[in-house]
């Protein structure tokens, strides 16, 4: 079985997801799609020793244009399809949004969206935040065409908001203890 984690950057993966990925890698093939530009010298060795494949994908710029977002999503889709996992975990709300967009274009048995917290995305009322929320909602609408996904939350309030806004349902939502 092949399992893939999609994480913004390698440091976050090592501090928050490495333990579970290492455990999974004892019985299955595991890869992480992540930005390695800030990797420390020992990071690659640590992952290699655990049998975890690294698939580098440069993070999109923080003030990305629509074109840069689309290029990032296209590259992400290509890298996932090349690895061809059976199960995939998108971490963070933004990567989960990208994962929701491409969910129907990648052949996986199950997709997991790890909502680690909303951060600034759902609190302010400025135009940029409202636009992000609207795009986020549209992305999750793409999921109605395919039911093989689950939302995993680390915060009860975040889960309630997703259910209240009809982004997820109780049946496809799971609450776990936070790891960060």
Is residue 158 over pLDDT 70?
A: yes
pTM: 0.88
Burial class (CB in 10 A: 0-12, 13-18, 19+), 14: buried
Neighbours of 172 (CB within 10 A): 16
The full DSSP string for 74-140 is: HHHHHHHHHH--SEEEEESHHHHHHHHHHGGGS--SEEEEEE---GGGSS--SHHHHHHHHHHHHHH
The least confident of 3-17, 59-73, 129-143 is 129-143
Nearest alpha-carbon partner for 116 in 177, 30, 39: 177
Compare 128 and 116 and report the one with higher pLDDT: 116
Residues 33-44 pLDDT 10s: 999 999 998 999
Residue 175, SS3 per DSSP: strand
Q: What percent of the chain has pLDDT over 90?
A: 53
Please give the mean pLDDT across all residues of the chain: 87
pLDDT of residue 147: 79
Instruction: Find the mean pLDDT for residues 61-86.
Output: 89
The CA distance from 69 to 177, in Å, is: 31
Structural domains in the chain?
2-175 (3.40.50.2000)
Residue 165, SS3 per DSSP: coil
State the sign of the Cα–Cα–Cα–Cα dihedral 111, 114, 118, 119: negative
Instruction: Find the mean pLDDT for residues 86-115.
Output: 90
Compare 16 and 147 and report the one with higher pLDDT: 16
The CA distance from 57 to 46, in Å, is: 19
CA-to-CA separations, 166 to 125, 144, 160, 163, 176, in angstroms, rounded: 20, 11, 10, 5, 20
Q: State which H helix or E strand residue 29 sits in.
A: strand 29-35
């Amino acid at each position: 079985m092949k399992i893939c984690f999609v994480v913004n950057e390698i440091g976050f993966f090592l501090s928050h997801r490495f333990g579970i990925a290492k455990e999974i890698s004892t019985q299955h093939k595991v890869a992480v799609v992540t930005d390695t530009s800030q990797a420390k010298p020992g990071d690659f060795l640590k992952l290699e020793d655990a049998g975890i494949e690294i698939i580098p994908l440069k993070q999109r710029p923080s003030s990305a244009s629509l074109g840069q977002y689309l290029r990032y999503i296209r590259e992400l889709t290509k890298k996932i399809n090349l690895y061809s996992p059976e199960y995939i975990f998108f971490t963070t709300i933004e990567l989960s949004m990208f994962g929701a967009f491409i969910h129907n274009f990648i052949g996986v048995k199950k997709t997991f969206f790890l909502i680690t917290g909303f951060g600034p995305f759902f609190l302010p009322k400025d135009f940029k935040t409202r636009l992000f929320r609207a795009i986020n909602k549209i992305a999750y609408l793409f999921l109605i065409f395919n039911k093989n996904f689950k939302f995993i939350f680390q915060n009860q309030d975040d889960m309630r908001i997703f259910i209240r806004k009809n982004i997820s349902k109780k049946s496809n939502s799971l609450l776990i203890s936070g790891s960060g």
